[in-house]
Structure 1
Amino acid sequence: MKSFGYVRARTTDDALHSFVSLPDARFLGGGTNLVDLMKLGVESPGTLIDVSGLPLDTVGELPGGALRVGATVRNSDLAAHPAVCRSRPVLAQALLSGASGQLRNVATTGGNLLQRTRCPYFQDTGQPCNKREPGSGCAAVEGVNRDHAILGHSAHCVATHPSDMAVALAALDAEVELIGPGGGRTVPVADFHRLPGDRPEQDTVIRPGELITSVVLPAASAGLPSAYRKARDRSSYAFALVSVAAVLAVGDDGLIRYARLCFGGVAHRPWRAVTAEALLVGAPADESTFLRAAEAELAAAEPLSGNAFKVELARNLAVDTLAGLADRR
């Protein structure tokens, strides 16, 4: 076992100061991903700064109908929160489709956003992986890549982002609130995770020493029909082959007045389907519209040797999810 230091932060300022002053420090929330990676030898922080005790564990309703979710709110608590269940079912469904009840009781909102890929080549220190060791290569490109990306990948990395929650948050236009040595800032969830490019080791746009303090869910999509669907190899405890988060509002004239669509399991980040959304708004809420929009979004797909099936799966899942929401008007 490799030794490491441990600090329990009492305040946000305490956490930020500890990060700057301690070598190779990492923030620790629930630890459901980071601790696993430490056991595998993928991560080896010099010090863990435990932020689970910070006063960031509440969900607050803001004026106008927005919600602010603290970074240390547990996934189980967020999924069961009345304001989420009532007004944003897509988020509750996404949270409940991830991991097991025991893990959801420990995992945090901030940690969920920061979890790393479950690519087996990344988790196996005996395999080349540019995300784990830049410049070593990507074994998945020519290897077993059934679970890997079909959109936005590069020659350097074809891994997918594993979060269910982040896909729903992107569809809800949520924003991540951060604080760090340079002060506070806000980043849309849809822009928080990166495509791999030639820097696959950098998962997000978070800067060194920055800490997620909360996630804000805007009021615009509150109360609109929404849903999360997940296709996977077994009915529980499995990451998505493809997932879809959708928000859809249809007017009395049968035309779509609001549409948000995001795919999971297909890219290095939650894939916000902006091309599809543009085709949906103002169009009739029927299957031909949904099919045309999904196909336009997936026209950019570049399947690997083992995952061409994901294109059809993503298309069909999106069409079926949107059609289900249209029926609720």
Structure 2
Amino acid sequence: MRPFTYERATDVPGACAAASRPGATFISGGTNLLDLMKLEIERPSHLVDISRLPLADVDELQDGALRIGAQAANSDVAADPRVRTRYPVLSQALVAGASGQLRNKASVGGNLVQRTRCPYFYDTAAGCNKRDPGSGCSAIGGFNRIHAVLGASDSCIATNPSDMAVAMSVLDAQIELLDADRSVRRVDIADFHRLPGDTPHVETVLRPGEMITAVILPPPPPGRQLYRKVRDRASYEFALVSVAAIVATDRGTISSARVAFGGVAHKPWRSADAEAALTGRPATMATYRAAAETAMRDAVGQGQNDFKIDLARRTLCRTLVQAAQAS
């Protein structure tokens, strides 16, 4: 780990101003950043500690929405009665992520900006355009079992590791951002993470010094919410494929549906095509299979991860069966 300086922020605008300086970055729970610093993948010269800023509350808004502060711990959000009752897909996704100890430390804002777990990204001897732009993507033609099958490019086939963000995607969450000039903007979660294209090192739409201050969850949509995660082991493992679904039915017909995948792309993958294939159709396995085929229509494997395409189809069907029955 390289030398760095440290300061504890006392207010949000001051934190944004400090983090806008060259070489500076925010630190909160540190559950991802510290590992990256030890491996010299991240090399900040100055850390701005925002963990004690008053951004940990979960508040009701007048329109029935819920505002979750960016410093709220993942475990606290998962256990919040309002989240468990009105947004169970989010609670389920948070509980499925990491270990209890990490959930106690990790923040909502940090979860949204955590970086990929691609082994080549962590191996400084390997070519990785995300870590070192222009050095190539060693996963293409290499060990790529856990890599993306949707939205990838010739520059990068890494995946986003967040469970929480997949659930927030089907909930149409908005990310509240603040900069040093106290300018506030909201970004739809669908627009927050970027696909790799030719610049896989640019992962979000965050500007220098801009801080995530909260996540806004709109009033919950009708239907049963469900999160399903398929992984190599039952605990403390990232998803091979995950599905967040919200399904409402009326006398055997799907009246509305929302579907998002994790583990298959550079960002949470909301499938508008699958949703269109489900809405207005009978709640039957034939409908679910057709939606799954539509969702994976543009998927491209890299050899070792080809299995993910069929796994994603089957995981979606299984999730829809459960969600529609309960709905």
**Structure 1 and Structure 2 fold alike (TM over 0.5):** yes
1:145-184 matches, within 5 Å, as 145-181=144-180, 183-184=183-184
Which residue in the other structure is 1:113 paired with?
112
Moved segments of 4+, more than 2 Å: none
Partner of 2:278: 280
Query: 2:8 matched to 1:5?
Result: no
Whole-angstrom CA distance in 2 between matches of 1:191 and 1:121: 26
Give the Cα–Cα distance (whole angstroms) in 2 for the partners of residues 185 and 244 of structure 1: 29
| 3-state SS, counterpart of residue 278 of structure 1 | helix
Q: Which residue of 1 aligns with 2:228?
A: 229
Deviation at 1:132, TM superposition (A): 0.3
**Counterparts of 1:62 and 1:184 in 2: how far apart (Å)?**
17
Aligned AA (1:141): I
Residue 219 (str. 1) matches residue 219 (str. 2): yes
Q: For 1:245, what is the secondary structure of its paired residue?
A: strand
SS at match of 2:212: strand
**Per-residue CA distance 1:231-252 (angstroms, 9 max, x = gap):** 000000110000000111112x
TM-score, normalised to structure 1's length? 0.97
CA contact (8 A) 1:110 1:214 kept: yes
Q: CA deviation at 1:254?
A: 2.0
Task: Identify the residue that residue 325 of structure 1 maps to in structure 2.
Answer: 323
**Partner amino acid, structure 1, of 2:245:** A
Tell me the residue number matched to 1:126. 125
Partners in 1 of 2:17 and 2:175 — Cα distance? 21
State the partner residue of 1:44: 43
Alpha-carbon deviation of 1:18? 1.2
Q: Equivalent residue for 1:26?
A: 25
Find the residue that maps to 2:105 and give its secondary structure.
coil
The aligned residue for residue 305 of structure 1 is 303
Q: Which amino acid is the alignment partner of residue 17 of structure 1?
A: A
* Structure 1 residue aligned with 2:66: 67
CA distance in 2, matches of 1:205, 1:19: 16
Paired amino acid for 2:53: L
Unaligned 5+ residue runs, structure 2? none
Q: Deviations over 1:100-126 (max 9, x none)?
A: 000000000000000000000001111
How many residues matched? 326
| Alignment of structure 1 residues 236-255 onto 2, 5 Å | 236-251=235-250, 253-255=251-253
Task: Give the SS at the match of 1:65.
Answer: coil
**Residues 179 and 130 from structure 1, CA distance in 2 versus in 1: closer, same or farther, beyond 3 angstroms?**
same
Q: Which residue in 1 is equivalent to 2:143?
A: 144
Cα separation, 2, equivalents of 1:186 and 1:288 = 39
- RMSD (Å), alpha carbons: 1.0
1:176-205 deviation line (CA, Å, top 9, x unaligned)? 010114611111112211110000001111
Letter in 2 for 1:209: G
Match for residue 210 of structure 1? 210
Shift of 1:17: 1.7
* Cα contact 1:87–1:224 (8 A) shared by 2: no
Q: What is the distance in 2 between the residues matched to 1:34 and 1:181? A: 22
Amino acid at match of 1:191: D
SS at match of 2:43: coil
AA in 1 matched with 2:287: T
How far off is 1:23 after superposition?
3.1
Cα distance in structure 1, aligned partners of 2:153 and 2:180:
32
The one-letter amino acid paired with 1:298 is M
What is the SS of the residue equivalent to 2:143?
coil
Q: Would the aligned equivalents of 1:88 and 1:224 in 2 still touch at CA under 8 Å?
A: no
Deviation at 1:87, TM superposition (A): 1.1
The answer as to whether partners of 2:223 and 2:249 remain within 8 angstroms in 1 is no
Given that residues 244 and 259 in structure 2 are in contact (C-alpha distance below 8 angstroms), is that contact kept between their aligned partners in structure 1? yes
- C-alpha displacement of 1:327: 0.5
Secondary structure in 1 aligned to 2:326?
Answer: coil
Q: CA deviation at 1:173?
A: 0.6
Q: Deviations over 1:269-290 (max 9, x none)?
A: 0100111011111111111111
Alpha-carbon distance in structure 1 between the residues aligned to 2:276 and 2:208 = 35
CA distance in 1, matches of 2:150, 2:192: 17
Instruction: Tell me if 1:196 matches 2:182.
Output: no
Larger mean Cα displacement after TM superposition, 28-37 or 61-70: 61-70
Cα distance in 2 for residues equivalent to 1:17 and 1:325: 45
- CA distance in 1: counterparts of 2:321 and 2:294, whole angstroms: 17
